[in-house]
Chains A and B, each alone.
Chain A
């Protein structure tokens, strides 16, 4: 004889909540995280006694019988998915054992799929939004916990989703499950999603998109599946109300991840736009958030030719950053290739490990190297260039062989740090790669040739980092625009000014502004990864 007074009472309350359309109250009732209080303990006992394992079908029937509001619907459209969600919820609280993280994950994953499906109801689904957000937070915590204990999931790769692709990891799968809830919310067409007071319309599931998106992004970044973020940014760019109408905390978290995504794709200009706005929106007292934003903003700006000032380093959130970035800035400004290579090598750079752990080292090493080379050509002009004569209409020039000599010379000293190692061959023994000859001297065959030195300058000209042209026949670089300003200023414009001229006005795909993005622009905008050219 079934004895389920507490469960029946609980379902009656849920029925009332559905009729009242009270999402907050729904969340307050659907407690998911142990420890459970007495009332929930009673329910757990009743489920265990009446619906033990293998009795899930009967549990579904019980919920159906006691939830007429869901069974029949409020406006005649039944909400069966809600019934399955509640039955799954009861199963969860019956079986959960938090000492076993993997089992908890699997059980919770079932709950998430059921609630996500129930969220899809066109009129009643909105009642579940606060609960979905709450559960997604817990699920994200669980997924990140699993990612930090890889030994727990070493043998438990979830089903393979892509043909021939890598298996989907458990944390990644959690992100994808939350993403499906996010997509459901984004597709709510009950209204524009914007209330008359220009805030998110709480009756529309779009009000939850940034909270859910941020949780997905957090998981994907944590489990190093940054590519999975792209779909989220594309969907938001196409369908979201403007980001600015959402609470600032949500804007900041979203822009932080968008900035990091753009950074990881070498779109440093876009990255600094998103990150600068995130920093501007973050009140001064949230130092840990500001610090994380600042690390990526600083690196982006550095690579765009905008260095941190003393005032920046003195901010509380910038504590210690000078020691990591100061020497790099100096090496770039000096054109000191050996120092730069030493600083960005994991073996020799005092801050390289720190930079690597923040996932900025490789970007600095490769993009930053272009800036070092630019400074070096500038320095060579200062020490060996011909200043020309504006009166005599004689342009300043630089013998390319001087640049060539400088490049070869710097590759000589100090051998370990100065030898350029192609990323493909990183980690290999230099001797094996013939970087050094029998006497330990750099292999002359691997030093830059004159043609390569010339190509380097041509590439700088092409990127507007040098303002001039090459006379191939004379083997000289001629500086343009030196009539109006000093030769070196004319020939080597400020990097930041070059960058601004190139990118000013460009939008950041994924950052929905008023009237921006959307129709007809498609997802291709985020796919374009051609940010920066390397210089060989």
Chain B
């Protein structure tokens, strides 16, 4: 059955060449970072079946990435001064 051997080996090879496992193509991996902005497509990252990488999940560790206290108490900048004056002026005239 040389035909069957030929079939399975050649087709398997073709498939491997074709998809590089999990649909990730070499082109995408080598894509220069500057093109990131133009390509909105989200590709599966290729770790299916590979040993799982250590989780980056750090519930407390990710907190410092976000700032929940951002209120601005500065009332001496130009914007605040202008507002203050305008409110005063308006209060006087009414």
Contact = CB atoms under 8 A, between A and B. Distances in A.
Interface string B29-58: 001010011011111111111001101111
A285 to B, nearest CB: 8
A81 interface: no
B94 A401 contact: yes
A16 B1 CA distance: 13
A4 interface: no
A496 B63 CA distance: 13
Given A37-B14, A382-B73, A401-B94, A494 B65 contact: no
Interface in A440-492: 488, 492
B73 A282 contact: no
A496 B70 CA distance: 10
Given A247-B48, A286-B45, A311 B87 contact: no
Contact of B40 (A28, A319, A358, A375): A358
A354 B37 CA distance: 8
Contacts of B40: 222, 292, 357-358
A169 interface: no
Nearest to A36: B14
B68 A496 contact: yes
Is chain A's binding surface mostly helix, strand, loop or mixed? helix
Interface stretch (A82-90, A118-126, A402-410, A431-439): A402-410
Contacts of A329: 70
Nearest to B77: A334
A67 interface: no
Nearest to A306: B66
B8 A28 contact: yes
B4 A375 contact: no
A307 B62 contact: no
Given A358-B40, A384-B87, A406-B83, A280 B52 contact: no
Interface stretch (A233-241, A249-257, A387-395): A249-257
B91 A256 contact: no
Interface in A271-287: 276, 280-284, 286-287
B19 A249 contact: no
A218 interface: yes
Contacts of A308: 65-67
Contacts of B87: 380, 383-384, 402, 405-406
A286 B84 CA distance: 49
A272 B75 CA distance: 33
Given A13-B7, A334-B72, A280 B56 contact: yes
A289 interface: yes
Interface residues of A, number: 77
A28 B72 contact: no
A139 to B, nearest CB: 12
B66 A282 contact: no
A292 B4 CA distance: 45
B64 A375 contact: no
A27 B8 CA distance: 11
Contact of A28 (B15, B42, B88): B15
A336 B70 CA distance: 14
Nearest to A489: B71
A28 B71 CA distance: 59
Given A380-B87, A383-B80, A401-B90, A250 B48 contact: yes
Interface string A224-252: 00000000000000000000000111101
A326 B12 CA distance: 51
Contact of B71 (A276, A306, A492): A492
B64 A309 contact: yes
8 contacts: A39-B11, A134-B19, A250-B48, A288-B36, A311-B64, A334-B72, A334-B79, A336-B79
Interface of B: 3-4, 6-8, 10-12, 14-15, 18-19, 22-23, 28, 31, 33, 36-37, 39-49, 52-53, 55-58, 62, 64-73, 75, 79-80, 82-84, 86-88, 90-91, 94
Given A134-B15, A287-B33, A375-B71, 15 more contacts: A25-B8, A28-B15, A37-B10, A37-B14, A39-B7, A218-B42, A222-B40, A280-B56, A288-B28, A292-B42, A308-B66, A309-B67, A312-B66, A333-B71, A379-B75
Nearest first, the 5 closest Cβ-Cβ pairs linking A and B are A280-B57, A312-B65, A405-B90, A496-B68, A383-B84
Interface of A: 6, 9-10, 13, 16, 25, 27-29, 31, 33, 37-39, 134, 137, 144, 214, 218, 222, 247-250, 252-253, 256-257, 276, 280-284, 286-289, 291-292, 301, 305-309, 311-312, 315, 319-320, 329, 332-334, 336, 354, 357-358, 375, 378-380, 382-384, 399, 401-402, 405-406, 409, 488, 492, 494, 496-497
